Amino acid sequence: MKYKNVLCVYPYKRELKTVGFLPPIGLEYVASAIEDLVESITVIDLRYEEKPFLSFIDERTDLVLFSINWEADPEFVRDVIRSVPEQITVVVGGRHATVHVAELFQEHPRIDAIARGDGEEIARQIVQKGISPDIDGLSFRSNGEIVHNRNRLLETTCWGGYPNRNLRRYKYMVSVDEFTTDVEIDLMLGSRGCPFNCKFCDFKFNPLGEKRKWSVRTPESVVSEIKSISAPIIGFADDIFTADMDWVERVCDLLIAEGIKKKYAINARLEVARRPDVLEKMYKAGFMAFLMGIESAHDKTLASMNKGFTTAKVREYFETLRRFNIIYHCYFIIGNIGESREEMMDIVRFSHDLGADTLGLSVLRATKYSPLKEMLKGVDHYHIQEESGKVYSDMLSIDDLQQIRRDVNASFFTLPVILRILKKMIVHRLLTLGRVYRIITFTASRKIRKIAKKKGIRLGNVFK
């Protein structure tokens, strides 16, 4: 073997608020894929690590693998990569790394190679024979030049196994902002890719801009992995979990037959409402939260997006969905092409009518391979911010759109909505009286700190 002692690193200290408490499942897949080839392997998540990064590197370490999935905490990431001793090979992978190969090579002289796309098989080949022009999907430095090997013809799925969670050094707990609960959570994958074709979305593409073929594990292997997980809550990281409802039904049948008592959160399409028979099994099996993309409260926008449903159909679907005590988290986009501020604010009324429990609001973005870029050609009054990919117009700036986002959130979360969420969380055993007290205390103390800071009042140690 070319490399024998490997360090796998998730190189963030802080991360995106919505995912900052979730395990780096992609890095864990890569680590597990090479575990049988090396003498030692260590996985560290710097969000949770108290020891300094360099304390994990010794004279035996010959390869460091970094997983870069987000454009977050860039200065910290840069400093960590830069600190790796020169004699050690540095390889970077992850979705952000794949999309921004040229930029990362330029920004980080210490990077020797970048794995493009799914990394399991690339990592195995690197460990076996080193950085090589024979490894498809690899970009690397050679004699002062950057060499890009051809793309991998077939993406690795590795559905024969799942990550070895014994490589973890931490337990991951559900957190909200700065508040951390005592509820353990884990992530897993039942499928990769998405068979749908929404025009605004680039998740259906792999990080290389190619249409990712949807592939799915057997229900038996999914349930086998669930049985190996200690956490009572599992989030499925699938782009879409409910693409095949017959497959979902088989998973539920196995979970029920095995008597497994866990809770699950998934990305779901609204069309799950067409199968109330499967919804009943999902609820019985422990599926507690559906994250669903609605995107707009207006038919003209839904049609332009190729969403495949109308607002009337959404209302019809929710007539069925409301029969089940599931938490419905609905995604909407702020800044859809052709929508006014007033039309964006209609999200509030529409969501209340549906019975949505929580909202996920994001400003429209056109990323590197987004079909939106083609849609925006010739539309003079719409623009794309270069650094973020956010779409804005002559009428509504990015600051305006962010304010609309805040206004929608503030208007949506009324007392009845909050009480309904709390009730569902209690039903799903996510909340106890003790947890409710801790949340209320934390929220109140944070509010007091904010008010005191504005007024210049020193609170001492009371609310620290």
Q: Model confidence over 12-27: pLDDT tens digits?
A: 987 765 566 789 999 9
Report the range of poorest mean pLDDT among 43-52, 316-325, 347-356, 429-438. Answer: 429-438
Averaged pLDDT, 115-127: 93
Report the distance separating Cα 123 and Cα 28, nearest Å: 12
- The verdict on residue 327 lying in a domain is yes
Decide if pLDDT at 463 tops 50: no
With respect to residue 161, please indicate whether it lies within any of the assigned structural domains: no
Instruction: Tell whether 91 and 104 lie within a shared domain.
Output: yes
The verdict on 180 and 110 lying in the same domain is no
Shared-domain flag, residues 350 and 446 = no
The predicted model scores a pTM of: 0.86
334 found inside a domain: yes
CATH of the domain at 360: 3.80.30.20
Q: In this predicted structure, what is the pLDDT of residue 271?
A: 93
**CA angle at 151 for the pair 147 and 154, rounded to the nearest 5°:** 150
- The reply to whether 228 and 100 lie within a common domain is no
Residue 159 lies in a domain: no
- Whether residue 137 contacts residue 117, with contact meaning beta carbons closer than 8 Å, is answered with yes
Among the three residues 117, 148, 179, which one is the final residue of a domain in this structure? 148
Residue 460 lies in a domain: yes
Q: Are residues 425 and 453 in the same domain?
A: no
* Mean confidence (pLDDT) of the chain: 87
Residue 178 pLDDT: 62
CB contact at 8 A, 184 and 171: yes
Please report, for the domain that includes residue 81, its CATH number.
Answer: 3.40.50.280
Is residue 365 within 8 Å of 328, Cβ to Cβ? no
* Paired sense of beta strands 138-142 and 145-148, if any: antiparallel
CA angle, 289 then 291 then 292, to 5°: 135
Confidence tier at 439 by pLDDT (50, 70, 90): low
Q: pLDDT-derived band of residue 32, with 50, 70 and 90 as boundaries?
A: very high
Number of structural domains (the chain) is: 3
Rounded distance between C-alpha atoms, residue 122 and residue 37, angstroms: 13
Whether 165 maps to a domain, the answer reads no
The answer, yes or no, to whether residue 391 has pLDDT greater than 60, is: yes
Q: How many residues does the chain have?
A: 464
pLDDT score, position 441: 61
pLDDT of residue 224: 95
- Please answer whether residues 122 and 107 qualify as being in contact, where contact means their C-beta atoms are separated by less than 8 angstroms: no
Is the Cβ–Cβ distance between 81 and 119 less than 8 Å? no
Q: What is the pLDDT of residue 219?
A: 95
Clarify whether residues 390 and 439 are in a common domain. Answer: no
Compute the distance between CA of residue 350 and CA of residue 342 in angstroms, rounded to an integer: 13
Domain assignment of residue 242, given as a range: 171-431
For residue 61, pLDDT beyond 60: yes
Q: Is residue 32 located within the same domain as residue 74?
A: yes
Going by pLDDT thresholds of 50, 70 and 90, the confidence category of residue 216 is: confident
Considering the domain architecture, whether residues 98 and 129 belong to the same structural domain is answered as yes
160 vs 304 pLDDT, higher one: 304
Q: In this structure, is residue 457 part of a structural domain?
A: yes
How far apart are alpha carbons 287 and 235 in whole angstroms?
10
Same structural domain, 220 and 133: no
pLDDT at 158: 45
Quick one: pLDDT band at residue 35, thresholds 50, 70, 90? very high
For 334-351, what is each residue's pLDDT tens digit? 999 999 999 999 999 999
> Would the pLDDT of 266 be above 80?
yes
Q: Flag whether pLDDT at 155 surpasses 90.
A: no
Q: Give the Å distances, CA to CA, from 111 to 17, 104, 131, 215, 455.
A: 27, 8, 12, 31, 47
Share of the chain above pLDDT 70, in %: 85
Q: How far is CA 162 from CA 32, 99, 215, 273, in A?
A: 8, 25, 15, 30
The arithmetic mean of pLDDT across residues 104-133, rounded, is 94
Contact 10, 80 (CB under 8 A): no
User: Does residue 380 sit in the same domain as residue 270?
Assistant: yes
**pLDDT at residue 436, as a whole number:** 60
Q: Residue 46 has what pLDDT?
A: 94
Whether 306 and 391 map to the same domain: the answer is yes
Do 389 and 310 fall into the same domain?
Answer: yes
Whether the Cβ atoms of residue 427 and residue 325 lie closer than 8 Å to each other: yes
pLDDT number for residue 209:
54
Which residues are CB-neighbours of 401 under 8 A, at least 6 positions away? 334, 335, 363, 364, 390, 392
Residue 153 falls inside a structural domain: no
Q: Is 344 exposed, middle or buried (0-12, 13-18, 19+ CB in 10 A)?
A: buried
Structure tokens at 358: 């929580």
| Band of residue 444 on the pLDDT scale cut at 50, 70, 90 | low
Q: How far apart are CA 122 and CA 437, in angstroms?
A: 48
User: Distance between terminal CA atoms of the chain?
Assistant: 51
User: 174: pLDDT confidence band, cut at 50, 70 and 90?
Assistant: confident
Which neighbouring-strand residues pair with 139? Answer: 114, 148
Where is the domain boundary, 95, 113, 148? 148
pLDDT score of 12: 92
